[in-house]
Amino acid sequence: MDIFDKIDQLAGEIDAFVIDGAESLEQFRIKYLGSKSEIKDIFGEIKQVPNEQKKEFGLKVNALKTQAEEKFEAVKESISAQSAKVSYAGVDLTAPTESITLGGRHPISIVMNRITDIFSRIGFVVAEEREVEDDWHNFTAMNTPENHPARDMQDTFYIKDSTINLLRTHTSSVQSRVMTSTKPPIRIIAPGRVYRNETISARSHCQFHQVEGLYIDKKVSFADMKQTLLYFAREMYGAQTDIRLRPSFFPFTEPSAEMDVWLGTETESARRLTKGTGWLEVLGCGMVDPNVLQNCGIDPNEYSGYAFGIGIERSAMQMYNINDIRLIFENDVRFLKQFSSLI
C-alpha cells in the first residue's frame, strides 16, 4: 500500500469513527489530532514521497487534517449543547431572580483616583512602592536629621525587634526609591497608605492616605510648581478656585510652603473646615532640597525639582462633608452606601 492509499484509508476511518460522548471525543482527538497522532505520522513520511508528488501529498494531508478538525469541533459543539440542556433540566426559568446589591467605590478611592487622573493629564506617571520601608529611604535619604522627633518610637511604627524597618510615615519614600533607580527627568505621583503613631480622634488617625508628586529636571523653578498646583486646585475644586502659598518647613524641601484653597465662609461646612478663615490647607510643597538630590545620586548643580504631598482624607472630608475621619476606616455599610452612585 503506497502513501496515498494510506491517506485515503485514514480518511475513511475518520468518517467511520463513532463518537458518542466526551470520552470517545477525547479518544478521537488523541488518535487523529494529538501530538503523536496518525496524521502526524503520515506528515513525517514526506521525505519518502517523490519530489514531483510532494505538492499533491501536502494537499491531501492538509485536507485530511481539516476533515478531522471539522468533525472534532462539530461533535464537541453538539455535546456541549446537550450538556447545557441537561444542566437546565428542572429549572424554572420564569422564576424571579434574587436581587443583586451593587457596591461602590470607597470615598478614599474616589478622591485618590480623581487626583491621579488630574496629574496624569499633564504627564505625571504613577509610582508605587512598599509600605514596610527601611530607615534610610524613609528618613535619611529625605534629609531628616538623626535627632528628628519623627524617628522616635512614639511617632513611628517600627517593626518588632527592629530599629531599621518601619511602616512608612509618608509616601516620600517612593520618591527616594525612584530617584535612586531612575535618571532624570522624573515626573511621578505616588499614591498610597502611610502610618503614624497618633491618637485616633475625629480629626486624626494612625493610618491615612497621601498622594505625593515629584518633578526633577533641568531648570525647574518655584514658578513651575505654583502653576502646576494652581492647575490641580482648579481641576479639583472648581475653575474659579484661588490658592495661596504660606512659608513652611519640611526637611526634604527648601524653600517649603503649604498651599491653601479658598472655600469661603458662606456655609457651615466651610466655616467648620477652615475654622472660620475661609482657607483650607490641602497640601505641603517645596523645591527639592539639594541634599536630597545628592543623597539619591542626582547632581544638584545640574538638576532641580519640586515635590508636594496631598492628604486624601482631608480632601475627601471636604468634598463629601464627612465630619469624623474614623468613619472612613470603620467599614460601616450604612456609611459606605452613600457613595454607591459615585464613580
CATH code for the domain of 117: 3.30.930.10
pLDDT digit string, tens, across residues 209-265: 999 999 999 999 999 999 999 999 999 988 889 999 999 999 999 999 999 998 888
Answer yes or no: do 60 and 201 share one domain. Answer: no
Answer yes or no: do 174 and 316 share one domain. Answer: yes
Answer yes or no: do 247 and 178 share one domain. Answer: yes
DSSP reduced 3-state for 238: coil
pLDDT for position 232: 96
Answer yes or no: do 67 and 114 share one domain. Answer: no
What average pLDDT does the structure give for the chain? 86
Q: What is the b/e burial string over 224-243, where b = at least 16 CB atoms within 10 angstroms of the residue's CB?
A: bbbebbbebbbbbbeeeeeb
| Residues belonging to the chain | 343
Query: 99 in a domain, yes or no?
Result: no
Answer yes or no: do 51 and 172 share one domain. Answer: no
State the Cα–Cα distance between residues 10 and 32, nearest whole angstrom: 9
Answer yes or no: do 175 and 127 share one domain. Answer: yes
Query: 7 in a domain, yes or no?
Result: yes
Q: State the amino acid at position 22 in one-letter form.
A: A
State the Cα–Cα distance between residues 92 and 100, nearest whole angstrom: 19
Taking the model in full, what pTM does it have? Answer: 0.67
Of the residues 51, 86, 121, which one is the last residue of a structural domain? 86
Q: At 105, list the grid cell.
A: 467605590
Query: 303 in a domain, yes or no?
Result: yes
Cβ neighbour number for residue 113 with a 10 Å cutoff:
13
Answer yes or no: do 270 and 185 share one domain. Answer: yes
Which residues neighbour 275 within 8 Å (Cβ) at sequence distance 6 or greater? none
Q: State the amino acid at position 283 in one-letter form.
A: L
Cβ neighbour number for residue 110 with a 10 Å cutoff:
18
DSSP reduced 3-state for 137: helix
Query: 91 in a domain, yes or no?
Result: no
Answer yes or no: do 264 and 129 share one domain. Answer: yes
Query: 94 in a domain, yes or no?
Result: no
- Angle formed by the axes of helices 22-32 and 54-87, to 10°? 160
Mean pLDDT of the region 163-181: 91
Query: 235 in a domain, yes or no?
Result: yes
State the Cα–Cα distance between residues 129 and 214, nearest whole angstrom: 14
- Angle formed by the axes of helices 54-87 and 3-16, to 10°? 10
pLDDT digit string, tens, across residues 263-303: 888 877 778 777 888 898 889 999 999 999 999 999 999 99
Residue ranges making up the domain that contains 33: 3-86
Query: 101 in a domain, yes or no?
Result: no
pLDDT digit string, tens, across residues 313-337: 988 887 888 888 898 998 888 888 8
Task: Give the DSSP H/E element, type plus range, for residue 152.
Answer: none
Answer yes or no: do 49 and 121 share one domain. Answer: no
From residue 56, give the alpha-carbon distance in Å to each of 3, 11, 19, 60, 61. Answer: 11, 16, 30, 6, 9
Of the residues 38, 54, 86, which one is the last residue of a structural domain? 86
Of the residues 56, 86, 116, which one is the last residue of a structural domain? 86
Answer yes or no: do 66 and 173 share one domain. Answer: no
Using the predicted structure, report yes or no on whether residue 12 has a pLDDT greater than 60.
yes
Answer yes or no: do 275 and 179 share one domain. Answer: yes
State the Cα–Cα distance between residues 218 and 303, nearest whole angstrom: 5
Task: Give the DSSP H/E element, type plus range, for residue 342.
Answer: none
Query: 96 in a domain, yes or no?
Result: no
Give residue 153's pLDDT band: very low, low, confident or very high (50, 70, 90): low
Answer yes or no: do 58 and 113 share one domain. Answer: no
| Number of independent structural domains in the chain | 2
Lowest mean pLDDT of 103-112, 170-179, 249-258, name the range. 103-112
